[in-house]
Structure 1
């Protein structure tokens, strides 16, 4: 494994524990009865089927994070990252929402999280829906949330984010930390061609193939990641991130695998393309998914961000996955994945040319 990546994986748990210790040092979480000011209601992206949808969010004390601009100073970006990490959660707040005439409510837990479950009486059509959320007994106005309903599609896509979609400079620990801690949604860079590749896979503008992002980043970075996807015109979909408090003990691999299992169970008739990188455990996780769910995985695309023994290990997994009838492509860039996807009939020759043009334009600039 790359030395910088190994060092970062050693540092990350330390950062996580510092955040958790700081939370506990400042009373852990805040009960609403102590609050006289405003609260921030942070909804994430809801997801589900025409008859069952869930929406998770969080109740927090407000924080001042200005909208990202390309010319923002690194110090300002660093301060915003710290404000996100050291959020103050609020427990015991009842959150309510209405979707398709059905009302759901839940009370925020000790980490500020709540989950609303909707069961519409009439099945919803596939697509995006907006709904308003409110907090019981609070004067704040309603907060808008979005949910994605999936019914029929050719296939779905499950993708990692860091080192798969977003460049994280894994070859150098100082650059990696500088990029992660002092960048913002407009200064962070996607890998060349990734937007065009994902637009081709999701078939924007037609019967859309849904995409789901499963990342080890904390929920504190949700707004940053969502703004990044919007700004870079990368197809939007539900994000599944980590709670550094609750998920820390399960480890990165265990967490990601459990989320993928939930997605596959929610859509039992849908096949998937899995996209990740070689930097962490994506190849092992995806190989296990192929073993457990024969016929459910169409292809596995692994962005090659490592070398040496790690690549040899991925190639062994490629042979194992191949025996199950699934191709694992260790891709040096988005064009490798697009070429295979075109050969498999997942994207058209025209969409492949769009990826080629996007990659070429990036290298020319």
Structure 2
């Protein structure tokens, strides 16, 4: 079985490489008329190191979603997200903290760098600006402005620039939060492939639904027991980077606190849907978050539908004393619940409570009992749950 899995994986990887070469050969001239786009993903780090990632594509701007979008508009937007024309080998200039560094995109158009911030960061600040630009790449204003009337030419060339932000947990943060997204924050039904595809491909940031009360609960966790605090929240998912803009819009619309969103590359590899790929990706991202915040304890939030309990219990074993609590939303059948309860007994041996909860309020009440959130926020979370359930 291992031989066939490896053969299929290698074959699919070769097919993807050949497809990219063929696409670049056949459509290179057409793609030359598409504007360059720098897609940046929110960076994060510590006072000693910051991780930045992004991508360069030839892509038109996606239309702004609305709650009135039709089936076909949503389907077109999904097609545009996944039909990305990556730009390999282009130099990206990054400016942050008064420093300037350059890096080169890989064959999929991604860039990935680590920078060292200055030692005198403002104590009360969590978000910092960063600017991305493309070296030796200019395009006309006509290329950048897709709404310019046909026949109206522009003669001004512009450098391709994108402004973004990165997050560094302030020294007064009491703890951090690492949260799954699918079936934890966002209703996805990840155990049902057809339903997941329908929600992902035919919905948008307005039509997708949050779990009831989740926005108020995450705001309470970010504020902690004292509302002047800022506890960083990191979102980790095995969803592809192609869905990044949808998730950013969804969090903004629902009032969920802003934080880095860590996804993974989409490819034809058999590992994309395999459980080991899901496990290894999420574990690697969680380890990265823990590594850049070596003195910060964490709360972990996930669901029972896939492997969050297994991944989180491994994190507990690898990081004794650093995990304060684990909340697992119960979205699975009874036979799965029993295996989760076994993992709960495992984490108890490390004095880490792992709760299998039916809803957000149950998690919030326990968090309040541990002093993780202000008890006065629990009524707001209950009200938020009721309001979400009425949608």
The normalised TM-score by structure 2 is 0.83
Map of 2:147 onto structure 1: none
Change in 2 beyond 3 A, CA 1:174/1:219 = closer
Q: What CA distance in whole angstroms lies between the structure 2 residues aligned with 1:30 and 1:137?
A: 21
Q: What CA distance in whole angstroms lies between the structure 1 residues aligned with 2:344 and 2:263?
A: 27
Over aligned residue pairs, what C-alpha RMSD do you find?
2.5
- Deviation of the 1:349 alpha carbon: 1.4
Aligned residues of 1:101 and 1:120 also touching (Cα < 8 A): no
- Deviation of the 1:309 alpha carbon: 0.9
- Deviation of the 1:176 alpha carbon: 3.1
Aligned length: 349
Aligned residues of 2:37 and 2:160 also touching (Cα < 8 A): no
- Deviation of the 1:145 alpha carbon: 1.2
1:234 pairs, out of 251, 256, 263, with 256
Alignment of 1:97-116 (within 5 A): 97-116=94-113
Matched, 1:144 2:163: yes
Secondary structure of 2:86's aligned partner: coil
Map of 1:284 onto structure 2: 310
Matched, 1:319 2:345: yes
Alignment of 1:1-365 (within 5 A): 21=15, 24-27=18-21, 36-37=32-33, 38-125=35-122, 126-139=125-138, 140-152=159-171, 153-170=173-190, 173-203=193-223, 206-245=228-267, 248=272, 251-365=277-391
Map of 2:4 onto structure 1: none
Q: What CA distance in whole angstroms lies between the structure 2 residues aligned with 1:74 and 1:19?
A: 32
Q: What CA distance in whole angstroms lies between the structure 1 residues aligned with 2:218 and 2:109?
A: 33
Change in 2 beyond 3 A, CA 1:28/1:128 = farther
Q: What CA distance in whole angstroms lies between the structure 1 residues aligned with 2:83 and 2:246?
A: 15
Secondary structure of 1:138's aligned partner: strand
Change in 2 beyond 3 A, CA 1:199/1:21 = farther
Q: What CA distance in whole angstroms lies between the structure 1 residues aligned with 2:78 and 2:167?
A: 28
Q: Which runs of 5+ in 2 are unaligned?
A: 1-7, 139-158
Change in 2 beyond 3 A, CA 1:18/1:303 = farther
Change in 2 beyond 3 A, CA 1:113/1:174 = closer
Cα offsets for 1:58-110 (capped at 9, x unmatched): 01111342111111012211121122112111101100121121111100000
Aligned residues of 1:214 and 1:239 also touching (Cα < 8 A): yes
Aligned residues of 1:30 and 1:91 also touching (Cα < 8 A): no
Secondary structure of 1:56's aligned partner: strand
Secondary structure of 1:347's aligned partner: coil
Secondary structure of 1:190's aligned partner: coil
Q: What CA distance in whole angstroms lies between the structure 1 residues aligned with 2:277 and 2:121?
A: 36
Secondary structure of 2:60's aligned partner: coil
- Deviation of the 1:172 alpha carbon: 5.4
Worse-superposed segment, 182-191 or 22-31: 22-31
Q: What CA distance in whole angstroms lies between the structure 2 residues aligned with 1:196 and 1:360?
A: 12
Change in 2 beyond 3 A, CA 1:132/1:164 = same
- Deviation of the 1:214 alpha carbon: 0.5
Aligned residues of 2:170 and 2:230 also touching (Cα < 8 A): no
Change in 2 beyond 3 A, CA 1:244/1:188 = same
- Deviation of the 1:351 alpha carbon: 1.1
Q: Which runs of 5+ in 1 are unaligned?
A: 1-13
The normalised TM-score by structure 1 is 0.89
Change in 2 beyond 3 A, CA 1:304/1:18 = farther
Q: What CA distance in whole angstroms lies between the structure 1 residues aligned with 2:385 and 2:362?
A: 11
